[in-house]
Structure 1
Amino acid sequence: MDRQIRVMVVDDHPMWREAVTRDLTEAGLDVVATAGDGEEAVRRARAVRPEVLVLDLNLPRLPGVEVCRQVVAQDPAVRVLVLSASGEHADVLEAVKSGATGYLVKSAGREELLDAVRRTAEGDPVFTPGLAGLVLGEFRRLAAEPPAATAAPQLTARETEVLRLVAKGLSYRQIAERLVLSHRTVQNHVQNTLGKLQLHNRVELVRYAIEQGLE
């Protein structure tokens, strides 16, 4: 049985919302709340503080990207996995810019969804195949723009090494195996790096690494 990952499910279609909730619950995850519109989602997320928010983009009363922006602003520790019917590139990039750490299309199977939620809880960026390259490509494009002049924080050699592997898209487990470290040690290095760089999640970390030419 899984560690009790606290999950909140947001979707305006009751049948879909109930089906996702049932799948997650049966797999041993803890669905602490659900919501059917954007305003309700922001309110409930503030009250229950989920680890992972499974979020549809097409919501009444407040769009999904705005829900994502507000929820992450009020609790930077929350990780947002978008689960959307749209695979449109503009929607994906907008979701990531608003703070989502993953994006899955609704055609994904049950096991794919469960794996995505678990990996999102661990801090991995999770994208439907084909979309990860799009996001990395956008980060590279942004990195080509002139950066604002800021003093670079001092990272240790090990933190820089871990950051380089994060930018290559490796999971924490893969990084741990490559560097012969424990999974927990890799997570600690990433958390320290996030703190030094004043970043909130792994997606922002990948973008920073690319901007610094650490790929």
Structure 2
Amino acid sequence: METIRLLLVDDQRLFRRGLRALLEAQEGFHVVSEAENGQEAIDKARAFRPDVILMDVHMPILGGAEATQVIKQEMPNAKVIALTVSDEDDDLFSTIKAGADGYLLKDLGPDELEACIRKVMGGETPLSPGISAKLLREFRDRSFAEKKRTSEADLTSREIEILQLIAEGHSNSDIAAKLYIVEGTVKNHVHNILEKLHLQNRVQAAAYAIRGGLASVNGSEADESGSTARA
């Protein structure tokens, strides 16, 4: 099993130390460093190049969303998971928009956290229960006027079909089975969809589909009890 290198970012030292002890007791995890604010997180990410960053949202000097945006721009392969007590809409929206690969509340259990870290390394988007539908509604209702969006007309019919299935919560393997194509082809289509629509992840793609009327919010909410938007 390949070791996953972690950076822990939280302004509460006691929480960081407890989290470090918890994670390093698990096979395959190694905490390379800790940071107590967003600016320090950026510096540590540059220095240690972690695989996964567990990022608090509200911190002094620089917040989690701002730090995430810088880190994802400079190190797009680094996975950033927000680990926070906040389920406020503004925090959800700004953090995912900044490029976070997951959003978890601190009330989750140790086994759940371990599973979510492994899932994000596999390309999935871990979300705490109830966050998915809330996040999709937020993206649906907010305007992305500050970013140029490519219209659905620029997507192929196959890409639109796959975008609809993403919004319904299907994984790449599910989509491949439904459309009778190989999973690698689905991954290529997903990559093209994100590129054309200037989106960063599947959560944003699903929200785009709902906001554009390509899929229903009710269909997405059917998975509200689940904790992962599959990749």
Q: TM-score interval w.r.t. the shorter chain? A: 0.7 to 0.9
Moved more, 134-143 or 43-52: 43-52
Give 2:6's aligned amino acid.
Answer: V
Unmatched segments (≥5 aa) in structure 2:
216-231
Matched, 1:9 2:8: yes
User: Is the 8 Å Cα contact of residues 51 and 79 (structure 2) preserved in structure 1?
Assistant: yes
User: How many Å separate the matches in 2 of 1:207 and 1:112?
Assistant: 25
2:202 maps to which residue? 202
User: Is the 8 Å Cα contact of residues 81 and 101 (structure 2) preserved in structure 1?
Assistant: yes
Q: How far apart are residue 186 of structure 1 and its match?
A: 3.2
Give 1:199's aligned amino acid.
Answer: L
Residues 97-117 of structure 1 deviation map (CA, whole Å, 9 limit, x = unaligned): 332232111110011112222
User: Is the 8 Å Cα contact of residues 93 and 139 (structure 2) preserved in structure 1?
Assistant: no
Q: Percent identity?
A: 38
Residues 164-215 of structure 1 deviation map (CA, whole Å, 9 limit, x = unaligned): 2111223334434544555544333322332333332223322332343322
Structure 1 pair 70–187 and aligned structure 2 pair: CA distance change class (3 A): same
User: How many Å separate the matches in 1 of 2:156 and 2:179?
Assistant: 15
User: How many Å separate the matches in 1 of 2:42 and 2:17?
Assistant: 19
Give the secondary-structure state (helix, strand or coil) at the position aligned to 1:76.
coil
Q: How far apart are residue 35 of structure 1 and its match?
A: 1.5
Aligned-residue CA RMSD (Å): 3.0
Moved more, 96-105 or 194-203: 194-203
User: Is the 8 Å Cα contact of residues 137 and 207 (structure 2) preserved in structure 1?
Assistant: no
Matched, 1:189 2:176: no
Give the secondary-structure state (helix, strand or coil) at the position aligned to 1:163.
helix
Moved more, 76-85 or 37-46: 76-85
Give 2:23's aligned amino acid.
Answer: L
User: Is the 8 Å Cα contact of residues 143 and 210 (structure 1) preserved in structure 2?
Assistant: no
Please show how residues 60-139 of structure 1 align to structure 2 within 5 Å.
60-139=60-139
Give the secondary-structure state (helix, strand or coil) at the position aligned to 2:53.
strand
Q: How far apart are residue 83 of structure 1 and its match?
A: 0.6
Give 1:52's aligned amino acid.
Answer: V
Q: How far apart are residue 134 of structure 1 and its match?
A: 0.7
Give 2:17's aligned amino acid.
Answer: E
Moved more, 42-51 or 147-156: 147-156
Give the secondary-structure state (helix, strand or coil) at the position aligned to 1:81.
strand
Matched, 1:19 2:18: yes
Residues 128-155 of structure 1 deviation map (CA, whole Å, 9 limit, x = unaligned): 111211111112213699x967565743
Structure 1 pair 22–77 and aligned structure 2 pair: CA distance change class (3 A): same
Give the secondary-structure state (helix, strand or coil) at the position aligned to 2:100.
coil
- Across the two proteins, how many residue pairs are aligned to each other? 213
User: How many Å separate the matches in 2 of 1:188 and 1:148?
Assistant: 22
Unmatched segments (≥5 aa) in structure 1:
none
Q: What TM-score results when the alignment is normalised by the length of structure 2? A: 0.76
Moved more, 18-27 or 40-49: 18-27
User: How many Å separate the matches in 2 of 1:149 and 1:89?
Assistant: 23
User: How many Å separate the matches in 1 of 2:144 and 2:86?
Assistant: 28
Residues 66-117 of structure 1 deviation map (CA, whole Å, 9 limit, x = unaligned): 2122222323333321111223333222322332232111110011112222
Structure 1 pair 82–148 and aligned structure 2 pair: CA distance change class (3 A): closer
User: How many Å separate the matches in 2 of 1:177 and 1:61?
Assistant: 48
